[in-house]
Amino acid sequence: MTHSKLLSWLFLLLPVFSFAQNNQAVLNAYQEALADLVLLRNEGNLMPLKGLDTLKVAYIGAAQRKQVTFQDFLERYTQVTTIQFPSVASASETQTWIRTQTQRFNFFIIGLEDQSSTVEEPDYLADKEWIKGLMAADKVAVVLFSPNQALQKFPLLETVPCLITSDNTQEGQSLAAQLIFGGTETVARLRKPLSPNYSFGAGMDLGPAIRLGYAPAELVGLDGQLLRDSIKALCEEGLRYKAYPGAQVLVAKDGKVVYHQAFGQHTYDNERPVRLTDVYDFASITKITTGLPVLMKWHGEGSFKLDDSLGVYLSEVKGSNKAGLSMRRILTHTAQLMAWIPFWRGTLKWNTTNPWEQGWNADRISDGDFKKRTFKPDSTRRYSVQVTNKLWLYRKYHETIYQSIYQSPLNAKPGFVYSDFFFYLMPKIVKERTGVDFETYIKSNFYRKIGAYSLTFNPLRFYPKEKIIPTERDTFFRMTTLHGRVHDEGASMLGGVSGHAGLFGSVNDLAKLMQTYLNFGTYGGESLIAEPAIREFIRCQYCEEGIHRGLGFDKPLITYSPERAAYSAEASSDSFGHTGYTGTYTWADPKTGILLIFFTNRVHPTRLNQNLFSRSLRRRMHESVYKARIVPESK
């Protein structure tokens, strides 16, 4: 077995580019595969794919062995549906199949393993009509893995809009998927002739990358072995001290994901291991991933001014003590807004902060437990907002929540107080200004454009529970394990949709949005937010007052304190990020190009668990990435 084949085999056993003991060997295998990645045809500059929000992509793997890595990496970029080619079919059956698929999809990616040198032609080339039919009806990209004689035996392949050749190693399959979606560039040329039209030296340049790529750490100046060992040690420490039942870590630098690994289980029952595609409750990271990109977009377009008052953007607050508050002050949490209100307690008849001490039990809910027009144990037309299977909220109760915010007193003293209040109001602001509901607006303007389809509210609409990381066993309000329903009590009473909490999604998809911020608003070849707007929002606004916040974003402390910081002392002053109550964390540094996402469900089974913080695991995790730099960069 050759050295490169051995590396490819090991690749099957461990997550991408985190498997080798020899850093240089990993880099060599990657570069060898990149040298075999050749773009032969690119009609209309189709590659890399753009307009992900308009594409319905199907993947067809035509090979003796499943192209597992190729499929995996395709799915990291956007929604891709895998379909099977009609292996044994009559002409009419093939035509029916073609008609059905071209009605469902508007782009096809075909992965062909070129075994055409064998005496017996493989099934997927024996009947070529399905390929011809797709080519005639829709846009098609064909990847020839281990190219040999397929182009000579099937010359029609030379006319597909996009034709790529790649070796069939795990690295090669990964890079072929990245090339299609713009995660890598290529300047490679054929090392051997494939047909009269594609001789030795044929090929086209493609680059630079327009989306996140996946590469060895050494490619971007990180020591991969040190990075892997450090992260593994910290995650296992967290598991050992029961800081969380499971965790997931993603590290990217200079637009390349160099580490993505999962640890532990969904719960301490050890019934389900954490997977890289699992969906998390973002908690307060919702603030910087929903309402904040909207405001940055509007600011870049000139329709949102930071020194305007809240009353300019939300008519309902006029006449209240909130109307004249500066948006700049609001977004830096210095507008004297109260931190929060426990809205759920206001639904109970009991005048106590500990209703469970007086017999509160969700298994014995009755109308007598609640004030009028609050909760019922079963859904009706009037009680239609589901909080749990046994708690249904009055359909207009959200107005009581908003009025409580409008009527709340301001803090007596100025200064920094972290407040959820404004972000509760973002869905109303978006609806009032655009006429479009909050979820639809952010999905259509951001998530679908960057291929982040897992980012969503109320994920049980789209995913089975097995794919969603559970959070707390609520013992005081909902009296159940929160699994697929938002952890935050206030967001749950708003039907799971709010700007302060409620978003769910995968770590990989969050990385796309954070990379958009690191790119100063550009992703996938499209400008989603104007660069000056991003720069203004990530800037420390009131450093002269000793307040370290950006606009919505958390920032480095004015004076670094390892006891208080959730980030490395080596992070630049340009860096920014946010934390989430459920155990989520992300931090990005434009100066070094470093992005870290460290997600846990530390509130399972209880929010009283403080081990994630007491052991400073977030800060130490961030420090481990900076320590892995081969050539330290100046701040």
Q: How far is CA 253 from the centre of its chain?
A: 16
pLDDT over 50 at 10, yes or no: no
- Predicted pLDDT of residue 149: 85
Higher pLDDT, 348 or 351: 348
Whether 90 is in a domain gets the answer yes
The answer to whether position 72 is within a domain reads yes
For 569-596, the pLDDT digits (tens) are: 999 999 999 999 999 999 999 999 999 9
Is residue 300 situated within a structural domain?
no
Q: Measure CA 129 to chain center.
A: 38
Q: Which residue has the tokens 């190009």?
A: 593
Statement: residue 13 has pLDDT above 50: no
**pLDDT value of residue 355:** 45
Collapsed DSSP state (helix, strand, coil) of residue 599: strand
DSSP per position, 477-519: SS-SB-SSS-S-HHHHHTTT--SSS-EEE-HHHHHHHHHHHHT
Kindly state whether residue 105 falls inside one of the protein's structural domains.
yes
Contact 124, 87 (CB under 8 A): yes
Report percent pLDDT > 90 for the chain: 82
Cβ neighbours for 232, distance < 8 A, ≥ 6 positions apart: 261, 263
What average pLDDT does the segment 103-122 reach? 79
Strands (E), 114-203: 139-145, 162-166
Asked if the model's pLDDT at residue 334 lies above 70, the reply is yes
* Single-letter residue type at 438: F
Q: Would you state the structure tokens that stand for residue 115, as one six-digit string?
A: 């075994």
Length of the chain: 635
Phi, psi of 278 (to 5 degrees): -65, 155
- Domain of 196 in residue numbering reads as 3-211
Q: Residue 553 — very low, low, confident or very high, per pLDDT cuts 50/70/90?
A: very high
Q: What is the mean pLDDT of residues 174-203?
A: 97
How far apart are alpha carbons 85 and 252 in whole angstroms? 36
3-state secondary structure of 313: helix
- Of 606, 502, 601, 614, give the one whose Cα is nearest residue 248: 601
pLDDT of residue 116: 57
Q: Look up the pTM and report it.
A: 0.93
Average pLDDT estimate for 50-76: 92
- What gap in Å lies between CA 492 and CA 419, rounded to an integer? 17
Q: Within a domain: residue 276? A: no
CATH number at residue 176: 3.40.50.1700
Residue 27 DSSP symbol: H
Q: Is residue 201 part of a domain?
A: yes
**Residue 41 host element (H or E):** strand 38-42
Which of 211, 160, 161 lies closest to 47, judged by CA?
161
Q: Read out DSSP for 252-312?
A: EETTEEEEEEEEEBSSTT--SB--TT-BEE-TTHHHHHTHHHHHHHHHHHTS--TTSBHHH
Over 90: is that where the pLDDT of 7 sits? no
For residue 337, being part of any structural domain is answered with no
Count of beta carbons in the 10 Å neighbourhood of residue 588: 24
The answer for 362, left when phi > 0, alpha when psi is -120 to 50, beta otherwise, is alpha
Amino acid code (one letter) for 407? Q
Position 114 scores a pLDDT of: 80
Contact in structure between 494 and 487 (CB atoms under 8 Å): no
> Alpha helix locations (H) across 2-90?
3-11, 23-35, 68-75
The reported pLDDT for the residue numbered 356 is: 42
pLDDT of residue 17: 43
- Provide mean pLDDT across the span 501-527: 98
Beta strand ranges found along 150-267 (DSSP E): 162-166, 213-214, 246-253, 256-264
Report residue 166 CA to chain centroid gap. 28
Residue 89 is predicted with a pLDDT of 75
The full DSSP string for 195-246 is: SSSS-TT--B-B-S--S-EE--GGGGTB-HHHHHHHHHHHHHHHHHTTS-SE
Residue with token string 């699994």 = 483
Report residue 148 as tokens: 């040999």
pLDDT in tens, 376-387: 999 999 999 999
Q: How far is CA 453 from CA 259, 432, 504, 513, in A?
A: 21, 25, 11, 11
Q: What is the CA radius of gyration of the chain?
A: 26
pLDDT at position 181: 98
Q: How far is the C-alpha of 104 from the C-alpha of 75, rounded, in Å?
A: 18
Q: Please check whether residue 94 is in contact with residue 86, taking contact to mean a CB–CB distance below 8 angstroms.
A: yes
> Which residues lie closer than 8 Å to 108 by C-beta, 6 or more apart?
57, 58, 59, 60, 101, 134, 138, 139, 140, 141
Q: What is the pLDDT of residues 215-225, one digit of tens each?
A: 999 999 999 99
Distance CA 618, CA 551 (A): 22
Is 82 within 8 Å of 105 (Cβ atoms)?
no
End-to-end CA distance of the chain: 46
Instruction: Give the three-class secondary structure for 126.
Output: helix
Angle at 534 between CA 528 and CA 539, to 5 degrees: 170
Q: How many domains does the chain fold into?
A: 1
**pLDDT of 632 strictly over 70:** no
> Which structure tokens are listed for 400?
């009581």
Question: Is 312 inside any structural domain?
Answer: no
Mean pLDDT value across the chain: 92
Instruction: Give helix then strand counts, H and E, for the chain.
Output: 21, 20
Residues sharing a CB contact under 8 Å with residue 333, sequence separation 6 or more, in sequence order: 416, 417, 418, 419, 549
Question: Per the structure block, which two tokens stand in for 284?
Answer: 């307060």
CA distances from 338 to 175, 501, 546 (A): 50, 17, 20
Q: CA-CA distance, 199 to 3, in Å (whole number)?
A: 28
Q: Is the pLDDT of residue 8 over 50?
A: no
